[in-house]
Structure 1
Amino acid sequence: MSGNRAVAYLKPGTVEVRTIDYPTLELQDGPGVARDDIGRKCRHGVILKVLASNICGSDQHMVRGRTTAPEGLVLGHEITGEPEVDAAVDAVASRRGATARTPRRRPRPS
């Protein structure tokens, strides 16, 4: 397999690996994107070449039908990767060859 692949949610209990478009630093129409945000530039964004990804607990809740998700939503937002292309204007620490990871939510204090 080659290309850009992702795990997509289809319905409770069903996911599939799909070939998807390579990302841009502009929001595209799709699951989870508000109509008013389509075409908005991501001035703080960085495109990462994924080295590792994780399906987290919130993704598992969607797959198990405990929460709702739009069909086609790409799962796995916890990513470790290398900046693949030049970063957006406001991005921080985005040199090629560096390793970066997306933040994950911290548990709330009890």
Structure 2
Amino acid sequence: MLMQGFNNGVLPLFGYAMLALAVVAFVMALVAREDAFRAADKQTKTFWMVILGITVVVDLFLPMLFLQIAGLVATIVFLVDVRPALRQVSGGGRRKGGSSSDGPYGPYNGGR
């Protein structure tokens, strides 16, 4: 009975969450510039579009847990490794005129 409730209630929510994450990563890869992938020394934009596109299709039409987990790993790699590198190369992520000692709420002065 507990397993039936898990399969009918919680497991589909994980599937929807994986699908949403894959779609977000796909859109981020779609709007990134092609030259940023080369400058960040990551795979090409086409590579990531294919991998993330396959992940979205698998999450939508082939609810096989093994394939979904493989796609989730690829999505996490993109979001944790590739996306920050693209933002750094593209000039995003840091305010203009900021110092390397600036924290999230202003400059860090070492406790002085």
TM over 0.5: no
Name the larger-Rg structure.
2
TM-score, normalising length from structure 2? 0.22
Is the strand fraction higher in 1 or 2? 1
TM-score, normalising length from structure 1? 0.22
Is the helix fraction higher in 1 or 2? 2
